[in-house]
């Protein structure tokens, strides 16, 4: 649930739910809290990437090439299905372990594969069974030999291209011209070195450099890169309403700005660091950065970027450092 703004003795704070207690944690889902050190070995080093093991159901047809069929699977199975990154993108549907139960989403979706494809429907009289090798089988016909296997394997990186009116579109935000001096990796925050030196003589993080570039472009103010963006939210009485992103945001470096103020500026990953399966996804590339309010960042967390967000962010002129 999107939080609501409440006035209190400490100023404006964001409530975790209508009438609830103040949010106990940072609202920025796509970056580390603002008081985190500029660099940490775990964030900025070159770690060995762990596999993201998920369960894959065996689709019929060739949805990697067949756009219409791909749309059918997405309509039926939702966010479990996606195109992977290149150089040879593939389309598959992967599920978390909690979805791999006899009546879980992975098994029920597997029963519908043939139906979605347009073939003779699989029987729905059977449930998924472990095969003793970490995978599952699902009987789909009257003979036990008629079955499919749901395999436990490394889910490939989801493509960072976002479909805009069916056209895969790259996120190309307003910080795209900033020079990259740190390795660009999926699931990395904007807390590695920018290579720029701040007024205090220390090296700025990517996050600090993005905010500084934004300030310089607006005469010392921080402006939202998604000003005017609207989204459904709730008012102080828990009634549905529409929120609108403000133009001028509160500076997180101003001591008078509360840490959890909903209008506090945050550096947002347009393509989130994690996909909807909890696997690595969005990177710390400057083109994937946007400065927005904590309130909007909270709304966009854990979502595939909506078309209107990508369309609007790609229209923002590139900042000149």
Per-residue pLDDT of 144-171, as tens digits, reads 999 999 999 999 999 999 989 889 999 9
CA dist 246 and 21 (Å) reads 25
pTM for the full predicted model: 0.84
Q: What is the model's pLDDT at position 102? A: 87
The rounded radius of gyration (Å) of the Cα atoms in the chain is: 22
Cβ pair 248, 127 in contact under 8 A:
no
Return all residues near 68 (Cβ < 8 A) that are at least 6 apart.
none
**How much is the pLDDT for 42?**
59
pLDDT at 44: 75
Q: Identify the pLDDT of residue 165.
A: 87
**Digit-coded pLDDT (tens) for 257-298:** 998 899 999 999 999 999 999 999 999 999 999 999 999 999
Residue 10 confidence (pLDDT): 34
Closest by CA position to 158, among listed 52, 82, 81, 54: 82
Give pLDDT < 50 ranges for the chain.
1-17, 19-39, 41
DSSP 3-state percent helix, strand, coil across the chain (nearest 5)? 20, 25, 55
Q: Return the domain boundaries, the chain.
A: 5-45+161-315, 53-154
Residue 54 is encoded by which pair of tokens?
């998920």
Q: How far apart are CA 214 and CA 192, in angstroms?
A: 18
What pLDDT is recorded for position 47? 60
């Amino acid at each position: 649930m999107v939080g609501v703004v409440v006035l209190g003795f400490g100023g404006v704070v964001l409530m975790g739910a209508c009438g609830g207690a103040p949010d106990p944690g940072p609202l920025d889902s796509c970056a580390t809290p603002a008081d985190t050190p500029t660099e940490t070995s775990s964030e900025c080093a070159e770690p060995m990437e762990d596999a993201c093991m998920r369960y894959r159901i065996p689709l019929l047809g060739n949805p990697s090439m067949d756009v219409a069929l791909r749309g059918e699977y997405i309509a039926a199975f939702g966010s479990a299905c996606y195109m992977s990154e290149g150089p040879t993108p593939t389309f598959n549907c992967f599920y978390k372990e909690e979805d791999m139960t006899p009546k879980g989403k992975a098994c029920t979706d597997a029963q519908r594969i043939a139906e979605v494809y347009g073939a003779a429907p699989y029987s729905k009289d059977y449930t998924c069974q472990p095969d003793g090798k970490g995978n599952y089988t699902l009987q789909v016909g009257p003979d036990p030999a008629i079955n499919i296997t749901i395999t436990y394997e490394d889910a490939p990186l989801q493509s960072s291209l976002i479909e805009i009116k069916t056209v895969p579109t790259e996120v190309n935000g307003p910080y795209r011209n900033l020079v990259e001096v740190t390795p660009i990796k999926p699931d990395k925050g904007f807390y590695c070195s920018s290579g720029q030196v701040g007024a205090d003589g220390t090296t700025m993080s990517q996050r600090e450099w993005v905010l500084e570039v934004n300030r310089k472009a607006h005469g010392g103010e921080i402006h939202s890169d998604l000003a005017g963006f609207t989204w459904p939210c709730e008012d102080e009485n828990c009634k549905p309403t529409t929120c609108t992103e403000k133009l001028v945001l509160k500076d997180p470096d101003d001591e008078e700005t509360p840490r959890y103020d909903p209008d506090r500026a945050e550096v947002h990953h347009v393509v989130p660091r994690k996909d909807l399966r909890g696997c690595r996804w969005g990177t710390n590339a400057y083109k994937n950065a946007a400065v927005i309010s904590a309130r909007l960042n909270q709304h966009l967390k854990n979502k595939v970027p909506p078309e209107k967000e990508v369309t609007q962010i790609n229209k923002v002129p590139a900042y000149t450092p």
